[in-house]
Amino acid sequence: MKPPHSKEAWELRSRELRSLLVDLMGGYPSRRGPLRPKVGKKQKKGGYSTEEVSFETVPEVRISALVAKPSRKEPGRLPAIIILHGTGQDKGMMEDDHFAELTRRGYLVIAIDQRHYTPRTLLSDMRLAQEAVVRGYCLYRNLSWDVTRTVDYLLSRDDVDGKRIGCTGLSLGGQMTWLAAALDKRIKVAAPACGVTTLESMFREGTDVWSSIGAFIPGMLKHTDVDEVVSLIAPRPLIILSATNDEIFPLSGAKEAYKFARAVYSLYDVEDRVRMFTDERFHSYSNKMRIAAYDWFDVWLTPGR
């Protein structure tokens, strides 16, 4: 796939591509219903406090989330980071990895349970993924819509600066980071970890991710690949975090996506807003990757701090 030759050509293609992706996934709800948020247990931790919350993403479908914010009083509304877990994980596992450092840096953090992919729901929802295919949708539709509704929830809070929202996640969470950011421009900064590679490179290198039928958009390769979809985030800041020995998301495909994205960002004359960071690791969100992501958020969401 070749990058567009002009900014005008890309903006036309990007509008078409966003609409196409939603159609391929089975279509989003025609309207947003009320969030009906609920607040549960609150706790004070060392340097930050947490609260368990839940909200409806579609009528009668409620997802749970864990919100953390600095214990110290911060001036004004806070920038917010959405954390998305990988397959077989849940929101609670994200606290140990991310909450202390991000709240120390002054962020409100929200980790959501990704529908269908927590330890409790994984097996039954893999069967649902098979059913979804024949019914004309895919689980990516539900997952990406849940992220959009998470942005809606953040905007409903009086302690969040809606113009400063970032998103990051590992593996499945990395995939949802770039997809949600590509489709929802309210996500201002994206940092997918071990979740970016071209689908063609997965075929080429024979990765083992194909056992998860719910992890892909039906018919996508007839029209596009991940390199082009990731580039829909332009001109908003994007850092692609990759591992040299990732057995699921090949580094070769991540480099292809980065090369395409740089060409798109150059159309806006903002090559400084796209970066690739590589760690000598297997499939993981390493400490070096986390620091690179947090520093990236600081540059674009808390300039001058």
Query: Quick one: pLDDT at residue 120?
Result: 55
What percentage of residues in the chain have a pLDDT greater than 70? 93
Token pair listed for 58:
């579609």
Token pair listed for 254:
């991540």
Mean pLDDT taken over the chain: 91
Whole-angstrom Cα distance, residue 213 to residue 104?
38
Mean pLDDT of 5-29: 96
pLDDT tier at 136 (50, 70, 90 boundaries)?
confident
Mean pLDDT of 157-174: 96
Mean pLDDT of 14-23: 97
Which one, of 194, 163, 304, lies nearest residue 257 by Cα? 194
Q: What's the number of CA atoms in the CB half-sphere (13 Å) around residue 80?
A: 25
In the predicted structure, residue 40 carries a pLDDT above the cut 90: yes
pLDDT tier at 122 (50, 70, 90 boundaries)?
low
The predicted-structure confidence for 67-119, as pLDDT tens digits, reads as follows: 999 998 777 899 999 999 887 777 778 888 899 999 999 999 999 998 876 65
β-pair partners for 69: 49
- Angle, helices 172-183/7-25, rounded to nearest 10 degrees: 120
Query: Quick one: pLDDT at residue 225?
Result: 96
Query: Quick one: pLDDT at residue 215?
Result: 63
Mean pLDDT of 36-49: 94
**For the purposes of burial, counting CB atoms within 10 Å of the CB of 235, is it exposed (0-12), middle (13-18) or buried (19 or more)?**
middle
Where do runs of H (alpha helix) occur along the chain? 7-25, 91-94, 100-104, 122-135, 139-156, 172-183, 199-205, 226-230, 251-267, 287-301
Mean pLDDT of 32-39: 95
Mean pLDDT of 136-141: 88
Query: Quick one: pLDDT at residue 133?
Result: 78
The predicted-structure confidence for 219-267, as pLDDT tens digits, reads as follows: 999 999 999 999 999 999 999 999 999 988 999 999 999 999 999 999 9
pLDDT tier at 124 (50, 70, 90 boundaries)?
low
Domains located in the chain, CATH noted: 7-300 (3.40.50.1820)
Torsion on CA atoms 294, 112, 124, 41, rounded to nearest 10: 130
